[in-house]
Amino acid sequence: MDVHGRTDAAVLAPLYVDPAGDLHAVFTKRRDDLRRHAGEISFPGGRQDPGETLLETALREAHEEIGLPPEAVDVLGALEPTPTLVTNYAIYPFVGLIEPGFEWVIGETEVAEVLELRIGDLRAAYGERRLVRKGIPFRTPTYEVGGHLIWGATGRVLQDLLGRLP
């Protein structure tokens, strides 16, 4: 599938089931001093490098950002691609199942922290807000869990993911 955007990027939505049977999704909180998407909550991911597939991009970026080795991910499939409205990225999301209890290795040049959020908490936190970014107003799905606000492209990817989970 194709989506509008000048720059192709891919993200990985890592999921795991904890010992109690609860499904969790793994996100990153981006550093506040970054030029693009500073301080935002996102799935691990980034721009596609020449010669790699979008899936390879998602797996490489997850390894660089949170230390998740590609071989530790059971790729389940892809979600609907989504654009970023202000920065003009075309984001291709992939979903992967991982083992619980992974010890994250944070890529400190981009990531401030790793968030492991229960799918049940994310579902309960759904809302929709009107936001303004760089002078552009837009409505976006939002999820606020533990003081962390997920919105924009990540909110749209998460909305698609939640719609596909039982």
Residue 139 clears pLDDT 80, i.e. is over it: yes
Farthest-apart Cα atoms in the chain, separation: 45
Give tens-digit pLDDT for 8-17. Answer: 999 999 999 9
What's residue 37's pLDDT? 64
CATH number corresponding to 7-118: 3.90.79.10
Global pTM reads: 0.92
For 4-56, the pLDDT digits (tens) are 657 899 999 999 999 999 999 999 999 878 777 678 999 999 999 999 999 99
Confidence label for 108 from pLDDT (cuts 50, 70 and 90) = confident
CB atoms within 10 A of CB 127: 12
DSSP symbol at 30 = E
User: Would you give the DSSP letter of residue 71?
Assistant: G
Angle at the Cα of 162 from the Cα atoms of 160 and 166, rounded to 5 degrees: 130
Helix (H) or strand (E) holding 90: strand 89-97
How much is the pLDDT for 135?
Answer: 80
Asked whether residue 84 carries a pLDDT value surpassing 90, the answer given is no
Q: How confident is the model at residue 3 (pLDDT cuts 50, 70, 90)?
A: low
